[in-house]
Every structure is written in structure tokens, then in C-alpha cells.
Amino acid sequence: MAADLFGWEGFRSSPGGLSKPNTLQKLPFPPVTKRHILNCSFHSWYLRYRGITPKARLLPLPPPFISYLRADGIVLPPDDNDRTEWSDSDSGIFSSTDNVSETDNEEEEDPSAQWRDIHQTIKLIIEELGGKIVPKLNWSAPKDATWIAATNSMECRTPNDIYLLLKSSDFVTHDLEHAFDGCEDDVITEGSEHEKLLTQSIPYFLILRKHITLNPSLEFRCFVRRRRLIALCQRDLNHFDFLFSLQDKFRDIIQQFFDLRLRNSFPDENFAFDVYIPPPHDRVWLVDINPWAQRTDPLLFSWLELLTLPEPPPLGPSELGTISLPLALKTNITSNPIRSLCNDIAPAKNYNSYKSDSASTSDTEEDETDIFIPEFRLVRRDDPEAYGFTTPQYSAHKLPRDVVDASRGGEGSLREFATQWKEVLAKQNQEDSEDGTED
């Protein structure tokens, strides 16, 4: 069920359990192009689907800001308001403001000197969006860096909150340095000037979304192959019993949403998209669009499954009729809110009841064979694989547990941990020096 991110075909069996994989399998992906990756960038699709996705602001990033994100170390701009926030949350160790002498040096080396306009604009956007936002870059949000935030989440209230998350995230680093990895448009030598120019040509954006409290059990990832919705699953990998009674309804409304909004309007025929269905579960919000590539987590599926699922039948006249009206209105898509979705189209058939009621005539039996039902996977209570889902997400990108525990311990914990860490390093350096003298 879990993603086979490294393409391993299988594991060797041994008396003690699973051991290292023995063969490497190349998954049968269609060629992944740079254009496909750019089409999935937030700035490429947001304006097209602005009416059906949560409110966001896009801020083009100049080269000096990109250089700041790529630079080693975490040095935050000196801002009086932000500095007060960091002092209150005991995070000054990351901005080098522990004492007055370091503060003076910091003011001389303001990392935002070349992009102060960006810094001020971010402040204004945060205020405009209610004082709390969630950041992301073109493709990735810094979900793997929430351990470093005082709130242990992606909620940001100041520009420095944003910078701290972005500079601590491996996901963001991937956007900056490896956005086109695996693409087959050009043969690019790693570290070559061609690669550097290609990476620099990407129009990077900082996306600031209004912070809203989402119920993670109502987020779903959907997979599209050849413009057909072939599979969907929950994003939060924990068991939620209530989802099973709503499974058919969610499948139907997501299918309607896809037919109406995405099938013929997104430029690529293969992609994955994330949706959120808030109570009372009569509308669908588009959260993100992801590449049809191995970098996208297939969650409850494996990529080999998604690539080899039975081919859906061609689009029939009834399905084409369903999307003819929305296609006529697609030029005005941003002004047609998703709340009118259920009034614009007829309710989708309930596939299970349709099967049970349609066994009387041969004509209906023929129609039955033409219906393709996307596979909808949920985490079951007795699912053996589900026991592994309780482990923290993105654990491979986190610091040791001591650091995480210190960040959650309230005021004084981080400073105490930093002091202890310095003492350990000093003692280790002293021992190394003594060993060198004895030799």
C-alpha cells in the first residue's frame, strides 16, 4: 500500500523477515517533461481554478531572495516586530539575537537588504489574509520543517516565521535545486552551466494562503490517467470509521468535480490532484495539483498499481454530455463558485445501487459493463499496513528526537537545549585537542 519511492521491485525473503531489495525495476512512466512539471506549479494553474481553491496570494521572487533561500545557515532579517515575536517564542538562537553584540553584527548583515520590498509586501499580505497564513513554494509546502516552528505547524504570523520554515525544509530545497530531476526533455549533466541556467529560468513564487483549520480526514488524493479518474484515497493515513458510510457520496462528488472542472481544462492528461470536502460535504475545494511522476506520493497505492490498472473505456456520449455545459462556461470559471456545483449538474448515479437495480434487462447489463468505477481506498481498522501509519510523517527529514522534544517544551527549552549542545561540542573539541597533543 505504501509508496515504493525508490522503484524497488521486491524484497528477498529471509527467516528473520524482509531484507534488502534484490532487483531494481524501472516503472513504466510515460516521459516526464519539464513542461508537465511547470504545469503543476501553483502559479501555472491557480488563476484558472481560482474560484474553486482556497484564497491565496502569489508573490514573484527575485534572484536575491532565491539566493537567500539557497544559502547555508538560518539568518533572519532584523525586524523589531518580528524580533519581539521570536523573543517571546524563545527562538532567538536561530536569528543570532542572543546578546547585544550579536544584534549589532546582525544589523550590519541584513539578509533582506536586497529584497526589503518583498519583506514589506509579505507583511501586508499577512495582515490582509487575517494575520495567519500558510506558505509554500511553486510545488511544495514546508511540511517537513514544522518541528522548528513554535506552533509545531505551518501557521505563520510574521515574515520571519515564513523564512524559518522555508530555509529548514528539504521539500523546498527540492523545488529550488531538483525541480526537473527525471525529466527527459534534455540531456543535462549534473552541475553543468546548462543545468544552472535551466534551474534559474524557473519563475519562482512564494504562495501565501489564508490559514484555515482543515479536518485532515476530509482530504483526498486523486489520480488521473489519460483524462480519466482512475483512483482516489484519503491523504491522512489513519483510520476514520465515519468515512466508510460516506465513501460512495465522496466518490460521486469528486467524480462530478473532476468532470466539471478539471478533465478538459488541465493541459496534461496525466496528473494527481488533492481535494478537500468540508461539511456538509456538498462542495469540493481544489487544494493542489501534483505531477504524474515518482516524486508524488501515491499514499495507499503503489505507482506500479496506478500505472498498470485496467485501462478505463473511452469516454461515452453520456459522459461527454455531462461536461459540455461546463466547457461552454470555462472562460468564466473564476467567477463560478464551487458552491453552485451541485445545482449545475445532476447528481451522479450511485454505482452500487445501480448495479443491484439493473440486472433485469440485457440492455442494462450492457450498460453496466461500460461503467468504470474509480478505486477508492480508505484505511481500514484491521488493515495490517495501517499500524505503520501512526509514525510521524516526513521522519526522514526531521532532526533527532531530542531537538523535537526541546522545541515542544515551552519557553526556555530551546535555549536550554542549545546551551547543552554547545557544552557537548566544546567538550568534544577539547577531547579531540587533547588526543592530538598526546599523539
Q: Which residue has the cell 533572519?
A: 76
Give residue 381's pLDDT: 87
Cis peptide before 313 (omega within 30 of 0): no
What are the tens digits of pLDDT across the range 32-64? 899 999 999 999 999 999 999 998 999 999 999
Percentage of the chain beyond pLDDT 90 is 43
Does some domain include residue 164?
yes
On whether both 429 and 409 belong to a single domain, the answer is yes
Q: Which residue has the cell 470536502?
A: 277
Tell me, yes or no, whether 377 and 229 share the same domain: yes
Q: 43 in a domain, yes or no? A: no
Q: Which of 72-81, 97-106, 190-199, 244-253 has the least mean pLDDT?
A: 97-106
Of 108, 114, 117, the closest CA to residue 63 belongs to: 114
Cα gap 348→356, rounded to integer Å: 16
- Do 376 and 413 lie in one domain? The reply is no
Per the domain annotation, does 386 fall within a domain? yes
pLDDT at residue 355 is higher than 70? no
Give the model confidence (pLDDT) of 362-387 as tens digits.
Answer: 444 444 445 788 999 999 988 765 55
Which of 193, 210, 227 represents a domain boundary (last residue)? 210
Tell me what the mean pLDDT of segment 250-259 comes to: 96
Instruction: Check: CB of residue 77 under 8 Å from CB of residue 112.
Output: yes
Domain extent at residue 433: 399-438
Q: What is the pLDDT of residues 397-413, one digit of tens each?
A: 445 545 545 544 544 45
Number of structural domains, the chain? 3
